[in-house]
Amino acid sequence: MPCYVNFKGEKVVPVEEGQTILQASLAAGIPHYHACGGKGQCTTCRVLVLEGQEQLTPPTSYERAIKNVKKFPDNVRLACQSRVSGDGVEVQRLIKDETDRYILINDSEDSTRVMGERRKLALFFIDIRNFTPFIEASLPFDVIHIMRRIFAIFRNAITQYDGVIIETAGDGLYAVFGLNSKIKQAAESAVLAGLKILADLRIFNNTYMRPYFNHTFEVGIGVHVGKVIVGNVGIGLSNNLTVMGYPVNIAARLQAATRELDNSFVISELAFRLLKNPPYSMGCSYINLKGVSAAYEVRLIGKPYEIELPTIAPDAT
């Protein structure tokens, strides 16, 4: 009696005993890519296993070797190497046309690329608070030079605590912690990086900005933790990681809330509770988030601003 495999969005196909998924799909008329002819070498037959992974034979030596190089997650299998031993298997072909082939084969030549996975990370947003008045009063050279110095302070602290900068935008940036650690350590690292930035910026203000430019800078930092999707989206343009998900929006909102809460470092209660050695907190507060009926509890672990900041309406995150 044949088993059946559901090719998501395509068709349900019978698999005879001893047949691979690839042989079954080709027999059923699915145009399944198989550039090496089923020898376990090209990876064009790869499928994402959505259900019934336990009904598949264990990865062959070819699959294990390829997985080591290309860092496939466990639920990606080579259809030409996987045999089905029972019903309930659902798969999705990953390479369905030439564009898929171009994107996935070229990208996976680089073993550092992440195909897309859900991870629990600490999310860290930082923004320079009073940069616009400085831009308006300074020469372009000075603006870029000072920006570089401040971003060097950000980068040093973030990399010291094993964070990764995901994106810079204007006078702010977004980083994540926890790509190589558990979530408790990630939250701890994000907080330590933020506190180091505040301390280093204070020194920079006192020893450089105030004496040479008669100006000082403040920043706003927001930290939250949560499950997000991590992957490489850039197609030949950039190898940067992309991190997406609702927790990212919350972290951005916490950073923006530093203005209204008049505190330079705002962390969600959720992240704060993960800290083994929580820093002194000036108290807790509540902010409203779009789409969340109850107010969101946060901790204030920075300092009140020394300068008066223009009020900006909370963004629509």
How many residues does the structure list for the chain?
A: 317
CB 123 within 8 A of CB 225: yes
Among residues 43, 189, 263, 285, the one that binds ligand FES under rule CB under 6 A: 43
Could you give the C-alpha distances from 94 to 75, 98, 222, 291, in angstroms and in order?
A: 12, 11, 37, 34
| In contact, 235 and 103? CB cutoff 8 Å | yes
Nearer to ligand FES, 95 or 267 (CB): 95
Stretch that binds ligand FES, among 28-36, 69-77, 122-130, 229-237 (CB under 6 A): 28-36
Cβ 28 to ligand FES shortest distance, Å: 16
80 near ligand FES, rule: CB under 6 A: yes
State the minimum distance, in angstroms, from the CB of residue 115 to ligand FES: 16
Q: Which of 131, 136, 125, 227 is closest to 173 using CA atoms?
A: 125
Nearer to ligand FES, 45 or 261 (CB): 45
Closest CB to ligand FES among residues 21, 257? 21
What is the token pair recorded at 79? 């259809």
The helix (run of H) or strand (run of E) holding residue 58 is none
Residue with tokens 């195909």: 115
In one-letter notation, the amino acid at residue 66 is: I
d(CA 266, CA 245): 19
Which listed residue (6, 19, 23, 44) binds ligand FES by CB under 6 A? Answer: 44
Closest distance between ligand FES and the C-beta of residue 35, in Å? 6
Binding mask 129-168 for ligand FES (x = CB under 6 A): ----------------------------------------
CB closer to ligand FES, 98 vs 308 = 98
